[in-house]
């Protein structure tokens, strides 16, 4: 269901009692946490219980598992997840009672009122770059507020209501949310057509990013990761508006450039050069060239916000990864298991590059869950081609999320595009038994990578437990 954004979005402190439909999700939980830290009365519901739901309860929210009209209680404002359906009983009740009803984007804007917002946008790398920027500003002593689309271990949370000037926000383009915000500054990591079920065409998707740049304050700045042509193409538009533009990346056109990359010990180090001057070396605890580019975007924004290079570099060094972004789940029987949210061909390719470096002489065994019928229809072949960088590939059924099944769009579209020997390409078992299938396929020294934006993330802990049981019984 599409909930319209009101012309006037009130500051969070003026919303009264706030009820969040889908409070256990990444986006709404961040909004809820910031509101709680500011002393706002927060309640909410979710379809399923979770650790995140219980953490919010410990922080003072009233939470309910299951959704019903009575859950609204004394709510004055209802904020709903993007995935909410029109027949959700809490939405029906909110409309019947004439309550203030905000989509997720308006809810986030309400907590950003009064701050100078640095919005991080891009098809890939938003969560990582937002997390890195928040970490850099924290280490610089600037106490930023931030809202991130996943829990970040080194920060201990996915959101915080800081006392400083800056508010670092992950700006999601999937439903047009980033066109609601009014940022002082922005970072664009890349522009690579996605979410075409919403935008329709690659051209419309690219135009949305141009409109996003138009929303940045003329007094602010824009950091572009110019290794990506889509991001680089925004420079002329930004400069035409008088924005300060900082080009970051690995290529020669970057003003803030990473050089001398070294990947070792599960991390990456590189030298940062700004307009020909060496600023020093940065060491990341996450592997892969794409994370270096994310770090450069975050570093550029941190420097523009007033952080010193030394403080920003320390913040980047402290970052250990966000949940489901090449996250190490554990090890058993000599097999290491990683989990990643990657669901687009470019993201798959980047994470497989990192996995190959981590695996060393071992094999990379990938289990991929395609996400959404519409995305699989458009990118299924490209997904399979990207997965071909692995040694063994398992492709599960398509995760439907907000869409209905289509008999013509199945995981076979992906499997058939994988250019590996047939014996190394497998149809995935039911997720309940996928851990057993992967344990049978993996051998000592291998790295298993779980990929997808759906519920394949539930497999990782079970797989590690199974591998450890095997090791104990050998």
- Which residues are identified as catalytic? 126-127, 170
Distance CA 441, CA 333 (A): 13
For residue 292, which of 125, 123, 122 has the smallest C-alpha distance? Answer: 125
CB neighbourhood size of 37 (10 A) = 17
Q: Cβ-count burial of 217 within 10 angstroms (0-12 exposed, 13-18 middle, 19+ buried)? A: middle
Cβ burial of 183 (10 Å; 0-12, 13-18, 19+) is buried
C-beta of residue 155 within 8 angstroms of C-beta of residue 134:
yes
| DSSP character at residue 328 | E
Q: How far apart are the first and last CA of the chain?
A: 52
Torsion, Cα of 204, 146, 244, 219 (10° steps): 100
Q: Is 255 exposed, middle or buried (0-12, 13-18, 19+ CB in 10 A)?
A: middle
Residues with Cβ within 8 Å of 295's Cβ and at least 6 positions away in sequence, in order, are 129, 132, 258, 282, 284, 316
d(CA 321, CA 158): 12
Alpha helix stretches (DSSP H) within 123-219: 126-139, 196-199, 202-214
Backbone angles phi, psi at 77, to 5 degrees: -135, 140
């Amino acid at each position: 269901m599409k909930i319209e954004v009101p012309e006037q979005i009130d500051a969070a402190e003026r919303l009264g009692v706030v009820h969040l439909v889908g409070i256990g999700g990444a986006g709404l939980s961040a909004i809820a946490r910031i509101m709680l830290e500011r002393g706002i009365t927060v309640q909410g519901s979710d379809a399923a219980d979770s650790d995140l739901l219980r953490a919010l309860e410990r922080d003072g929210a009233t939470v309910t598992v299951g959704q019903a009209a009575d859950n609204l209680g004394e709510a004055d404002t209802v904020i709903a997840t993007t995935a909410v359906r029109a027949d959700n009983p809490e939405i029906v009740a909110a409309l019947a009672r004439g309550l203030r009803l905000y989509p997720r984007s308006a809810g986030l804007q309400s907590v950003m009122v009064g701050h100078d917002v640095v919005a991080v946008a891009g098809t890939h790398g938003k969560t990582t770059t937002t997390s890195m920027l928040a970490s850099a500003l924290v280490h610089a002593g600037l106490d930023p507020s931030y809202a991130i689309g996943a829990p970040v271990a080194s920060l201990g949370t996915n959101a915080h209501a800081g006392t400083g000037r800056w508010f670092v926000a992950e700006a999601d383009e999937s439903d047009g949310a980033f066109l609601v915000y009014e940022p002082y500054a922005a970072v664009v990591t890349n522009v690579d057509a996605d979410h075409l079920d919403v935008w329709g065409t690659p051209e419309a998707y690219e135009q949305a990013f141009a409109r996003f740049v138009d929303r940045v304050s003329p007094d602010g700045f824009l950091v572009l990761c110019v290794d990506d042509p889509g991001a680089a193409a925004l420079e002329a538009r930004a400069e035409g508006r008088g924005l300060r533009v900082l080009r970051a990346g690995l290529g020669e056109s970057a003003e803030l450039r990473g050089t001398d990359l070294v990947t070792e010990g599960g991390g990456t180090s590189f030298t940062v050069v700004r307009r020909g001057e060496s600023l020093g070396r940065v060491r990341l605890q996450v592997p892969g060239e794409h994370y270096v580019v994310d770090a450069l975007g975050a570093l550029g924004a941190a420097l523009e916000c007033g952080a010193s290079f030394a403080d920003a570099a320390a913040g980047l060094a402290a970052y250990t990864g966000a949940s489901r972004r090449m996250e190490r789940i554990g090890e058993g029987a000599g097999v290491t298991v990683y989990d990643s949210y990657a669901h687009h061909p470019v993201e798959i390719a980047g994470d497989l590059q990192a996995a190959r470096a981590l695996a060393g002489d071992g094999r990379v065994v990938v289990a991929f869950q395609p996400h959404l019928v519409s995305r699989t229809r458009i990118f299924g072949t490209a997904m399979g081609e990207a997965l071909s960088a692995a040694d063994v590939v398992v492709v599960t059924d398509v995760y439907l999320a907000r869409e209905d099944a289509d008999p013509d769009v199945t995981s076979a579209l992906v499997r058939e595009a994988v250019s590996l020997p047939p014996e190394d390409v497998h149809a995935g078992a039911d997720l309940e038994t996928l851990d057993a299938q992967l344990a049978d396929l993996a051998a000592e020294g291998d790295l298993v990578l779980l990929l997808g934006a759906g519920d394949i993330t539930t497999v990782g802990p079970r797989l590690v437990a199974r591998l450890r049981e095997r090791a104990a019984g050998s």
